Structure 1
Amino acid sequence: MTTTRERENTMLVRDVMTTEPASVQPGTTIKAALRLLAERRVTALPVVTPNGQVCGVVSEADLIRDLLPRDPRTQEIPPADTRIPAQRVGDVMSGHPVTVHADTDLVEAVDLLTSTTVKSLPVVDRHGQLEGVLSRSDIVRLLARADEDIERQIDDLLRSTGLEGWFVQVTDGNVTLVGPEGTRDAVVARLLAETVPGVIEVSARTDRVS
């Protein structure tokens, strides 16, 4: 059974997501959306209505599909170009976006990012309005945090919650906690450490003489 403390210390989407993300509306031009992708260095953009509700997602592939004409030099008799290029985001966007909430367990969001073709997830509130975006690159940055930064944050977190005398070591995201002999706070220390971004696994024991 999941305890209240375990639920409180689950890493959530809000801990990792990009806040104030770039977005477009269905009426935004293809050119403007492409420019925004290039400027922000992202692979997809949430599409929102004028009141901020997410109504779709538009990706790089959506925007560049059928946009470029064939080079006539590649064929002896160039065919007539009968394309009618899309002009607006609403013409090419995916209208059924996969979304998550800020309080969604990060593990569930990662499952969506790895089991589907989507590379980013709009984060919406209970009214469907855009709050942020969670992308695969956000997860990569999270897991790539330096061990020294993780170690420092865990140490500060333990001290701020009254858990003194703990030795913290982090190697490739794997955390080892060694507490003062006789302390009963090993479970609490482990749960706290698990909330720190970049942590992969935590082991805790209490055999250190303070």
Structure 2
Amino acid sequence: MHSILVKDYMDENPHAIMKDATVRDAVTVLMKEQISGAPVIDTQKNLVGFVSEQDCIQEMLNDAFYCEGSPDVTSVMSKDVQTVSPNTSIVEIAEQMAKRPPKNYPVCADGKLIGLISRRLILKALLENDDDCYIHT
């Protein structure tokens, strides 16, 4: 398989959540866009975290049943986020994903969010580039 890079398959317009959003705001975006998680950014597009459906469940439970206000997304997001460069090999990321989470990697350059690479996009890249693996008769 020839070298394929994250920049060739990443989502260049990921649905990011602003860091001052509430958990309720984040859940609204996740549901509307039908995604399981999203990067959290500041106004300069600096990555500050990642929020997933799992991160939001307890807070939404508190909001819905205990009438507690929705806290800021920064209170539930993961702050230690694994990121990748746009020049990272798709094969390298696929090998990491095969061993452990996360399902999505924010793609950053100089600390700024420029894209997102997901399991679905990794699979697409592998599928589109697997011709070298078949023996043609």
Instruction: Give the counterpart letter for 2:93 in structure 1.
Output: A
Match of 1:162 in 2: none
Match of 2:116 in 1: 133
Q: Pick from 42, 48, 53: which aligns with 1:55?
A: 48
The verdict on how the C-alpha distance between 1:116 and 1:85 changes in structure 2, with shifts beyond 3 A counting, is farther
Distance 2:98 2:21 in 1: 29
- Whose radius of gyration is greater, 1 or 2? 1
In the TM superposition, what whole-angstrom CA distance separates every residue of 1:55-87 from its partner, at most 9, and x where no partner exists? 111111001124225xx9xxxxxxxx6x95651
Report SS of the residue matched to 1:123: strand
Unaligned runs of 5+ in 1: 1-5, 73-80, 145-196, 206-210
Query: Which stretches of structure 1, 4 residues or longer, exceed 4 Å deviation after superposition?
Result: 83-86, 202-205
Report SS of the residue matched to 1:32: helix
- Whether 1:115 aligns to 2:90 is no
Report the TM-score when normalising by structure 2: 0.84
Distance 1:11 1:123 in 2: 15
Which structure would you say has the larger RCO, counting Cα contacts within 8 Å and 6 or more residues apart? Answer: 2
Alignment identity in percent?
A: 27
| Number of aligned positions between the proteins | 135
Residue 95 of structure 1 and its aligned partner are, at CA, apart by 0.4
Distance 1:90 1:102 in 2: 26
Instruction: Give the counterpart letter for 2:42 in structure 1.
Output: T
Unaligned runs of 5+ in 2: none
The answer on whether the counterparts of 1:67 and 1:85 sit within 8 Å (CA) in structure 2 is no
Report the TM-score when normalising by structure 1: 0.57
Residue 54 of structure 1 and its aligned partner are, at CA, apart by 0.9
Q: Please give the residue correspondences for 1:27-106 in structure 2 after superposition, counting only pairs within 5 Å.
A: 27-68=20-61, 86-106=70-90
Q: Please give the residue correspondences for 1:156-195 in structure 2 after superposition, counting only pairs within 5 Å.
A: none
Residue 24 of structure 1 and its aligned partner are, at CA, apart by 0.9
Distance 1:88 1:112 in 2: 31
Cα RMSD, aligned residues only? 2.6
